[in-house]
C-alpha cells in the first residue's frame, strides 16, 4: 500500500506552477531561470512553424489521391479533433505555466508514476520525431541543390541500410536482364538508382562502406547551436522562416487559381468517406505542433493569456491555408495524378515554362519549412529533460541553466547529440510510427487529466478554461449515431474496421476500443463529464487502435525500459520522496 501511495503522489498545482521556486536544494548550482521573451505573436509563429512542414509539401498529395477534393473535410475534421485536445492543453498551460508539457500536467492530475511514463514517452516522441524531420530535411535539401546543378556525393546523403537495400534491388533487376539505362527510365526507380550509386562508389575502410547522412548532421548541428544561444534568437529565426513559407503558400494559391479547372473537382469524393479518411494519419500529425508550445510556458511573458491564443491561432491559420491549397491543387491537377512526393512542384511543373520559376521557390520553401519544424521541436525537447530533472527523476545536471544564454545547457546538448548521431545512420521507415503513438498517448493523458481535474481545481476567471458541455445525454447517442451512419452509408468501411485482413475474426484493437467507448459512455452519464475533453480522448484512443501491432510492441518495449530506469533511479531520487511534498 505504501508503494502504491508513493507512485500515485501528485505534485501540488501551486508547486508545479512555481517550478522555479520548489525549494530545490541544488538551486544555487542550476543557474538563473529561463528568460521571458515570447509573446502571443511569437508563439503563434512557433505553432505555424511546427504545423506547416512535410504535411503541406508532400502528404497532401497522397491524401488527395485517395480522397479527391473532399480532403478539405479531412483538414476541417482534423482541425476540430486537434482543437479539442488543444483546449485541454490550453487549460493546463494557463493553470500551470511551467515547462514540461504533458509530463507536468500528468504529475498534477495522476501522480508521479504516470508522470514518469508520460515524460519517458515524450523523450522518445521528440527524439524520433526530430530524427525523422532531420532526415526529411536532408532529402529536400539534396533535391534543391540538384535543381541548381550542385551535388553532394550520394554516399554522404543517406543511411547505410537505405543504400544497401537500394543497391540489392537494382542488382536483382540487372541480374534479371535489365541494364542501368533502362532502369533509369522507369518511374519510381530513381531513388533506388541513387542508393545503388551510393553503395557502389562509397569509400571502403576495413571492409565497411562509408555511408552516412551528412546534411542531416549539418541541420541538427545548426539548430542545436541556435537554440543553445537563446530563445530570443530562436524566435527571430522562426518568425523569419514562417514569413517565408506562408508567403510562398499564398503565392502558390494565388498563382494556382488562374490554372484551376472546375472539371477536376468532379467527382468531389471519388472514394467516399473511406477514401477521405485514408489520409488521416499523415494529415493528423501535421497538426501536432501546438504540443511543443506548452514546453515554452516559462519563457512566455503572459502564458495564461498568450498560450491559448497561440494554440488556437496557429490551428486556425494553418487550417485555412491547408483547405485553400487543397482546393487549388486538386483544381489544377486531377486527384488521380497526385500520389507523388512533391505534389506542388508536380502541379506547376506540368504548366510549362511560364511558371518554372515558381518551382524553385517551392523547393526552397520546403527546405525552410522542414528546418522550422525541426527548430520548434528541438526547442521543446530540452525543456522536457529540464522539467524531469527538476523533479529529481533525471540527473540534476539536466536542469542547469546557462548564466549568459539562459537556456538549459546540458539538456540542449543532450538533445542535439541524441538527434544528430542517429540521423547520420538510421533508416526510420519502420519506427516513425513511434512518434505517432507517442503523440497520441500524450494527447490522451492531457484530455483525461482535464476530466480528472475538472470541477476540483477550477482556474481563476482570467485563465482559460475548456467550455463545459454536459455529455450525459450527448456522448453515447453521438457514438451510436456515428456508428449507424457508417453502417448505412459506408458498410464496407464499417466492416473493414471490425475485421482483420490477415485472418478471419474481429480485430483486437476494435474490441478494446468498443469496451473503452462503453466505459466512457457510462462515466459520461454517471459523472456528467465535460464533452470536449471526452471527445478528444475518444478520438485519440481510436487513432491509437488503428496503429500496427509492431508499433505497439516497440512502444511497449520503450515503456518497459523506462520503468527499469524509474525504479532503479527516478523513484529513489524523486523530490516528492526526498522532500515529502504533498
Section 137-143 average pLDDT: 85
Local confidence band at 136 (pLDDT 50, 70, 90 cut-offs)? confident
In angstroms, the CA 413 to CA 470 distance is 46
* pLDDT for 114: 92
Section 492-512 average pLDDT: 60
Local confidence band at 489 (pLDDT 50, 70, 90 cut-offs)? low
- Measured CA to CA in angstroms, residue 383 lies from 85, 117, 354, 400, 467 at distances of 21, 16, 47, 11, 29
Return the bridge partners of 205, or none. 208
- This prediction's pTM: 0.86
Residue, of 536 and 291, whose pLDDT is higher: 536
Instruction: Give, as one character, the DSSP assignment of residue 266.
Output: S
In angstroms, the CA 568 to CA 564 distance is 6
Residue, of 223 and 36, whose pLDDT is higher: 223
- Measured CA to CA in angstroms, residue 129 lies from 104, 205, 557 at distances of 20, 31, 18
Residue, of 170 and 517, whose pLDDT is higher: 517
In angstroms, the CA 247 to CA 242 distance is 8
| pLDDT reading at 481 higher than 80 | yes
Instruction: Give the whole-number percent of the chain exceeding pLDDT 70.
Output: 83
In angstroms, the CA 359 to CA 347 distance is 9
Local confidence band at 339 (pLDDT 50, 70, 90 cut-offs)? confident
In angstroms, the CA 549 to CA 465 distance is 37
What are phi and psi for residue 52, nearest 5 degrees? Answer: -90, 100
Q: Encode burial over 419-453: b for 16+ CB neighbours within 10 A, e otherwise.
A: bbebbbebbbeebbbbbbbbbbbbbbbbbbbbbbb
In angstroms, the CA 365 to CA 368 distance is 5
Cα 205 → chain centroid: 38
> What is the residue extent of each domain of the chain?
38-143+218-459, 160-211
Local confidence band at 564 (pLDDT 50, 70, 90 cut-offs)? very high
E-strand ranges in 122-264 read 204-205, 208-209
Which CATH superfamily hosts domain 38-143+218-459? Amino acid/polyamine transporter I (1.20.1740.10)
Instruction: Give, as one character, the DSSP assignment of residue 296.
Output: G
Query: For the chain, give me the number of helices (H) and strands (E)?
Result: 28, 2
| pLDDT reading at 25 higher than 60 | no
Of 77-81, 141-145, 520-524, the poorest mean pLDDT is in 77-81
* Residue 200: how many other CB atoms lie within 10 Å: 14
* pLDDT for 397: 87
In angstroms, the CA 11 to CA 516 distance is 28
| pLDDT reading at 350 higher than 80 | no
Return the bridge partners of 499, or none. 506
Going by C-alpha positions, the residue among 146, 148, 138 that lies closest to residue 218 is: 138
- In the chain, the largest separation of any two C-alpha atoms, in whole Å, equals 75
Cα 517 → chain centroid: 25
In angstroms, the CA 405 to CA 409 distance is 9
Local confidence band at 31 (pLDDT 50, 70, 90 cut-offs)? low
Is the Cβ–Cβ distance between 474 and 531 less than 8 Å? yes
Q: Encode burial over 96-114: b for 16+ CB neighbours within 10 A, e otherwise.
A: bbbbbbbbbbbbbbbbbbb
SS (H, E, C) 457-475: CCCCCCCCCCCCCECCCCH
Is the Cβ–Cβ distance between 105 and 446 less than 8 Å? yes
Going by C-alpha positions, the residue among 294, 343, 341 that lies closest to residue 314 is: 294
> In this structure, is the dihedral angle defined by the CA atoms of residues 554, 555, 556 and 558, taken in order, positive or negative?
positive
Local confidence band at 560 (pLDDT 50, 70, 90 cut-offs)? very high
Is the Cβ–Cβ distance between 131 and 373 less than 8 Å? no
- Measured CA to CA in angstroms, residue 348 lies from 148, 250, 344, 397 at distances of 18, 14, 6, 51
Residue, of 518 and 432, whose pLDDT is higher: 518
* Residue 409: how many other CB atoms lie within 10 Å: 21
* Residue 461: how many other CB atoms lie within 10 Å: 6
Is the Cβ–Cβ distance between 547 and 556 less than 8 Å? no
In angstroms, the CA 304 to CA 97 distance is 7
| pLDDT reading at 116 higher than 90 | yes
* Residue 183: how many other CB atoms lie within 10 Å: 17
pLDDT tens column, 161-180: 888 888 888 888 787 777 77
Residue, of 310 and 23, whose pLDDT is higher: 310
3-state secondary structure (DSSP) of residue 153: coil
- Measured CA to CA in angstroms, residue 65 lies from 24, 114, 189, 190 at distances of 55, 40, 20, 21
What are phi and psi for residue 187, nearest 5 degrees? Answer: -70, 140
| pLDDT reading at 56 higher than 80 | no
- Measured CA to CA in angstroms, residue 337 lies from 67, 82, 269, 350 at distances of 12, 29, 15, 11
* pLDDT for 27: 42
pLDDT tens column, 169-219: 888 878 777 777 766 766 666 667 888 888 888 888 877 888 889 999 999
Return the bridge partners of 213, or none. 157
Instruction: Give, as one character, the DSSP assignment of residue 35.
Output: -
Amino acid at each position: 500500500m505504501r508503494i502504491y501511495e508513493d507512485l500515485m503522489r501528485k505534485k501540488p498545482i501551486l508547486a508545479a506552477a512555481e517550478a522555479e521556486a520548489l525549494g530545490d536544494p541544488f538551486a544555487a548550482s542550476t543557474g538563473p531561470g529561463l528568460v521571458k521573451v515570447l509573446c502571443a505573436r511569437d508563439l503563434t509563429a512557433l505553432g505555424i512553424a511546427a504545423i506547416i512542414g512535410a504535411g503541406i509539401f508532400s502528404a497532401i498529395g497522397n491524401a488527395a489521391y485517395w480522397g479527391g477534393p473532399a480532403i478539405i473535410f479531412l483538414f476541417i475534421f482534423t482541425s476540430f479533433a486537434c482543437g479539442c485536445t488543444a483546449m485541454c492543453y490550453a487549460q493546463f498551460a494557463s493553470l500551470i505555466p511551467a515547462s514540461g508539457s504533458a509530463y507536468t500536467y500528468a504529475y498534477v492530475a495522476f501522480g508521479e508514476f504516470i508522470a514518469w511514463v508520460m515524460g519517458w514517452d515524450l523523450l522518445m516522441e521528440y527524439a524520433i520525431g526530430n530524427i525523422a524531420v532531420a532526415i526529411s530535411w536532408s532529402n529536400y535539401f539534396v533535391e534543391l541543390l540538384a535543381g541548381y546543378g550542385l551535388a553532394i556525393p550520394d554516399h554522404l546523403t543517406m543511411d547505410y541500410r537505405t543504400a544497401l537495400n537500394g543497391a540489392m534491388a537494382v542488382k536483382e533487376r540487372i541480374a534479371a536482364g535489365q541494364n542501368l539505362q533502362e532502369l533509369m527510365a522507369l518511374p519510381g526507380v530513381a531513388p533506388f538508382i541513387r542508393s545503388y550509386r551510393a553503395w557502389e562508389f562509397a569509400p571502403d575502410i576495413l571492409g565497411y562502406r562509408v555511408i552516412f547522412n551528412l546534411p542531416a548532421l549539418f541541420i541538427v548541428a545548426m539548430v542545436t547551436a541556435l537554440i543553445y544561444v537563446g530563445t530570443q534568437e530562436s524566435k527571430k529565426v522562426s518568425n523569419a522562416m514562417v514569413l517565408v513559407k506562408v508567403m510562398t503558400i499564398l503565392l502558390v494559391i494565388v498563382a494556382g487559381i488562374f490554372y484551376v479547372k472546375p472539371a477536376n473537382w468532379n467527382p468531389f469524393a471519388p472514394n467516399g468517406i473511406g477514401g477521405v479518411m485514408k489520409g488521416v494519419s499523415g494529415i493528423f500529425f501535421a497538426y501536432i505542433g501546438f504540443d511543443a508550445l506548452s514546453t515554452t510556458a516559462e519563457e512566455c511573458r503572459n502564458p495564461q493569456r498568450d498560450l491559448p491564443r497561440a494554440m488556437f491561432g496557429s490551428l486556425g491559420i494553418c487550417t485555412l491555408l491547408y483547405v485553400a491549397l487543397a482546393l487549388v491543387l486538386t483544381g489544377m491537377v486531377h486527384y488521380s495524378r497526385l500520389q507523388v512526393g512533391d505534389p506542388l512542384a508536380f502541379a506547376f511543373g506540368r504548366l510549362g515554362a511560364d511558371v518554372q520559376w515558381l518551382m524553385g521557390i517551392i523547393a526552397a520553401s520546403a527546405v525552410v519549412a522542414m528546418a522550422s519544424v525541426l527548430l520548434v521541436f528541438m526547442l521543446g525537447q530540452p525543456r522536457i529533460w529540464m522539467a524531469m530533472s527538476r523533479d529529481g527523476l533525471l540527473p540534476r545536471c539536466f536542469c542547469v541553466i546557462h548564466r549568459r544564454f539562459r537556456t538549459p545547457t546540458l539538456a540542449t546538448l543532450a538533445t542535439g547529440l541524441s538527434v544528430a548521431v542517429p540521423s547520420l545512420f538510421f533508416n526510420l521507415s519502420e519506427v516513425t510510427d513511434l512518434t505517432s503513438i507517442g503523440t497520441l498517448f500524450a494527447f490522451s493523458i492531457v484530455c483525461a487529466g482535464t476530466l480528472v481535474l475538472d470541477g476540483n481545481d477550477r482556474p481563476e476567471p482570467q485563465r482559460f478554461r475548456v467550455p463545459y458541455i454536459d455529455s450525459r445525454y450527448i456522448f453515447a447517442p453521438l457514438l451510436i449515431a456515428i456508428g449507424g451512419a457508417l453502417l448505412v452509408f459506408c458498410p464496407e468501411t464499417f466492416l473493414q474496421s471490425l475485421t482483420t485482413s490477415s485472418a478471419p475474426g474481429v480485430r483486437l484493437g476494435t474490441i478494446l476500443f468498443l469496451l473503452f467507448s462503453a466505459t466512457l459512455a457510462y462515466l459520461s452519464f454517471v459523472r456528467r463529464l465535460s464533452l470536449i475533453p471526452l471527445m478528444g480522448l475518444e478520438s485519440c484512443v481510436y487513432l491509437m487502435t488503428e496503429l500496427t501491432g509492431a508499433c505497439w510492441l516497440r512502444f511497449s518495449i520503450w515503456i518497459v525500459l523506462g520503468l527499469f530506469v524509474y525504479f532503479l533511479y527516478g523513484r529513489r531520487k524523486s523530490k516528492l520522496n526526498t522532500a515529502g511534498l504533498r
